[in-house]
Amino acid sequence: MTTRHRILLRGKALLSHPRLLPVLVVFSFFTNAPALWSGLFNDDYCQQVELIESPSIHDALNKVGLGISRPGHLGMLLSEHFIAVGPEKNREPFKAYGALPWWTGEHYQVSLLRPVAAFAAWLDLKLFGSSVFWRHFHSLVWMALVVYGVGTLFRHWVDPPWLAGLAILLFALDDNHYFPAMWIANRNLLISLVFAIGCLLAHHRWRAHSAWSAGLLSWTFLLASLLSAEAGIATFAYLLAYALVLDRSRWAPRLLSLLPAFSLILLWRLLYNAAGYGASGGGFYFDPGNQPLAFAQAVWQRGPFMAAGQWFSLPPELFALMHDENRWPYALLLALLSLALPILLLPLLLQSRPARFWFVGMHLAIVPVCAAIPMGRNLLFCSMGGYALIALFIGHCFSASSRCEPFLRVSPWAKALCGLLIFLHLPVAALAKLSAPWITQWIVQRIDATTDLGTLPTEDQRPVVILNAPNPASFLYVPFKKAVQERPLPRDIRLLAPGYGPLTVTREDANTLTLRAQEASLLTCRPTTRLGMVHLYRYLSDFRAPHERVSPTTPIVFPELTLQVIAIDPQGNPIEVACRFVEPLEEMAVRWLQWDWKNEQYIAFNPPAVGQAITIKGPY
């Protein structure tokens, strides 16, 4: 026996060991453990305010019109905890304070119904009080349950046992798991996947053993998954794949077995929309029910990036780091690659029923998550099928023999793909897994810098006027972050324009500034082949639906100034806006700030003299 064969046998023995799964569960917990000290991020601050009853926090928010009613109340949390922006809850107060910018569309909202995840947050409150550390610990427990549940699925439908162990190892090494484990507000995705796994296991028991009680349990788990996160609808992708591939009964019973789950999803969606929940009026989310055409286009644009993220660990976030006009060649290339892969997988798919199941489930699971901008954290549902399929493909390449029919032999291209997948999802993935906490922290710090207004003296209640905010979306969290940290809040925040490009700022008279985009419009970026955070900030800050035009005839009035759009581009985006203040600029009691792209921080802005103009540089 050669050394190579001895290493392979030893590796197979380790991957087949019954204790591998609990070891990898512990491994997942400890590799994600830096999240325990990561603190709060974005939505976490809003949700923390809704949980804790602190007079100092709520008094500060009440003074600026952003008070929270019934903090810590279970009923409020179940219905409102995941409403970031809602017409009945906070949209108008946000716009009045400036946490939402003046160009926000009339129908913009992000109102999500996730009562199961909200109940988990309420448990945090009852068990841990306001402790952020233990809330993170709670999230890591759910992440460990995800790894255990996925491993259980693999042991059911990945064979032989060493390939199931390999699939579990690949899943545990995925660095995309760190962000949902670190971001408390994203725990809902972990909870949803745990219930989805329970749904699939119970559905299998029902279909394989005619256990009707298991069927009822499956539908209960499906409902819990849907009420944890909208991504729970991806559970149906695997139920459909099961009916198409693994179910051994006749076609009529197979299709009928999907009817309860389909009806439950349809009823959930109808009630969800009827109650006013959903995301609309922006470009970050596309609601499949209310925006079917836009969602279909998003699947074509975003789907290839998600598939490439699963197969080749290409960060799906690259989608948002590119300019719109330069993305389609990459999307086309990745789409062609996604179509070519099944050709190399065809021998495996022809001879392996589980491989067909995971292949169908993985690709169908990509569709619903295309409703949101591509991010690695949204690959969780897809990655179940992806890693099972990758493990089966590796096993097929290693075990194929000359006795196979010629059509089923492994081609050189398939062997090359096998080697690439092993390299990307084992050594490279291990390095990415270990570095994920530090890379994530670096990104979070860059995003946090875009809303760092400096230290405000306690007595300083002046409004803050920002000429060119690089990341308007994150200002939604500024008042809650400052309140939780018990730091003074500015009286108002006024974002005059985004900082996506260079601006010409002209002093028309004592009271008036006009801001004009030197490239494209105020709401768009200059076409460039360069990747950059500015494109990500623009996507995060899409407060208007595609093709929703800004009105040049309707002024936007605030207590201290009135904004009037002077010129728009053919798509209805503002090119120039006049900002007329109620007093001469030198007499205004405001803090003037501008964003410095070179140093990535805010600096003081000095208004030019009457009749003079200055240029504020953009990111490029």
Report the pLDDT value the prediction gives residue 408, as an integer from 0 to 100: 45
φ, ψ for residue 498, nearest 5 deg:
-70, 165
| Residue 1 pLDDT grade (very low, low, confident, very high; cuts 50, 70, 90) | low
Nearest Cα neighbor of 104 from 566, 473, 372 is 473
Beta strand 591-596 pairing with 464-466: parallel
pLDDT in tens, 301-354: 899 999 999 999 999 999 989 888 888 888 888 888 888 888 899 999 998 999
Residue pointed to by tokens 């000429």: 467
Nearest Cα neighbor of 381 from 394, 372, 369 is 369
Report the pLDDT value the prediction gives residue 514, as an integer from 0 to 100: 96
Q: Is residue 512 located within the same domain as residue 416?
A: no
Mean pLDDT confidence for 220-229: 98
Q: Does the pLDDT value for residue 406 go beyond 50?
A: no
Q: Which helix (H) or strand (E) holds 596?
A: strand 591-596
User: Has residue 5 been placed in a domain?
Assistant: no
User: Has residue 450 been placed in a domain?
Assistant: no
Q: Is residue 359 located within the same domain as residue 316?
A: yes
pTM above 0.85, yes or no: yes
Report the pLDDT value the prediction gives residue 160, as an integer from 0 to 100: 92
Q: Is residue 272 located within the same domain as residue 237?
A: yes
Tokens of 325: 């006009």
Sign of the alpha-carbon torsion through 47, 50, 54, 59: positive
> pLDDT above 90 covers what percent of the chain?
72
Report the pLDDT value the prediction gives residue 327, as an integer from 0 to 100: 82
Number of structural domains the chain divides into: 3
Report the pLDDT value the prediction gives residue 409, as an integer from 0 to 100: 58
Q: Does the pLDDT value for residue 448 go beyond 60?
A: yes
Mean pLDDT confidence for 170-190: 96
Q: In what order do the strands lie in the sheet with 591-596?
A: 493-495, 464-466, 591-596, 601-604
**Is residue 288 a contact partner of residue 233, using CB atoms and an 8 Å limit?**
no
Tokens of 188: 């809902």
Q: Is residue 524 located within the same domain as residue 404?
A: no
Beta strand 556-557 pairing with 512-517: unpaired
User: Has residue 2 been placed in a domain?
Assistant: no
Q: Is residue 374 located within the same domain as residue 521?
A: no
Distance, CA of 330 to CA of 172 (rounded, Å): 29
Lowest mean per-residue pLDDT among 10-14, 220-224, 262-266, 385-389? 10-14
Exposure string of 91-119, with b = 16+ CB inside 10 Å and e = fewer, is: bebbbebbbbbbbbbeebbbbbbbbbbbb
pLDDT in tens, 465-507: 999 999 999 999 999 999 999 888 888 999 999 999 999 999 9
Report the pLDDT value the prediction gives residue 457, as an integer from 0 to 100: 58
Mean pLDDT confidence for 397-417: 66
Q: Is residue 103 located within the same domain as residue 164?
A: no
Distance, CA of 164 to CA of 184 (rounded, Å): 30
User: Has residue 423 been placed in a domain?
Assistant: yes
Q: Is residue 342 located within the same domain as residue 260?
A: yes
Nearest Cα neighbor of 118 from 188, 42, 36, 167 is 188
Q: Does the pLDDT value for residue 244 go beyond 90?
A: yes
Mean pLDDT confidence for 186-198: 98
End of a domain among 102, 118, 134? Answer: 118
Lowest mean per-residue pLDDT among 26-35, 215-224, 257-266, 281-290? 281-290
Distance, CA of 185 to CA of 470 (rounded, Å): 23
Report the pLDDT value the prediction gives residue 234, as an integer from 0 to 100: 96
Q: What is the DSSP letter of 456?
A: P
Taking the C-alpha atoms of 93, 96, 100 and 105 in order, what is their torsion angle to the nearest 10 degrees? Answer: 90
Q: Which helix (H) or strand (E) holds 516?
A: strand 512-517
pLDDT in tens, 392-402: 999 998 875 43
Report the pLDDT value the prediction gives residue 460, as an integer from 0 to 100: 56
End of a domain among 413, 444, 475? Answer: 444
User: Has residue 449 been placed in a domain?
Assistant: no
Q: Which helix (H) or strand (E) holds 594?
A: strand 591-596
Mean pLDDT confidence for 283-292: 79
Report the pLDDT value the prediction gives residue 10, as an integer from 0 to 100: 86
User: Has residue 479 been placed in a domain?
Assistant: yes
The beta strand positions in 225-356, using DSSP E, are: 278-280
Q: Is 208 left (phi over 0), alpha (psi -120 to 50) or beta?
A: alpha
Half-sphere exposure of 565 (CA within 13 A, CB side): 20
Q: Is residue 277 located within the same domain as residue 181?
A: yes
Q: Does the pLDDT value for residue 404 go beyond 70?
A: no
Lowest mean per-residue pLDDT among 120-124, 251-255, 402-406? 402-406
Question: Crossing angle, helix 380-399 and helix 292-312, to 10 degrees?
Answer: 40
pLDDT in tens, 119-147: 999 999 999 998 999 999 999 999 999 99
Distance, CA of 114 to CA of 265 (rounded, Å): 14
Exposure string of 367-391, with b = 16+ CB inside 10 Å and e = fewer, is: bbbbbbbbbbbbbbbbbbbbbbbbb
Q: Is residue 68 located within the same domain as residue 174?
A: no
Q: Which residues have C-beta within 8 Å of that of residue 299, sequence separation ≥ 6?
A: 367, 370
Q: Does the pLDDT value for residue 7 go beyond 90?
A: no
Q: Is residue 410 located within the same domain as residue 472?
A: no
Q: Is residue 393 located within the same domain as residue 530?
A: no
Mean pLDDT confidence for 456-466: 73
Q: Does the pLDDT value for residue 462 go beyond 90?
A: no
User: Which residues span the domain enclosing 47?
Assistant: 43-118
Report the pLDDT value the prediction gives residue 290, as an integer from 0 to 100: 75
Mean pLDDT of the chain: 91
Q: Is residue 33 located within the same domain as residue 49?
A: no
Tokens of 563: 């904004």
End of a domain among 444, 470, 496? Answer: 444
Mean pLDDT confidence for 109-120: 95
Q: Does the pLDDT value for residue 187 go beyond 60?
A: yes
Report the pLDDT value the prediction gives residue 549, as an integer from 0 to 100: 85
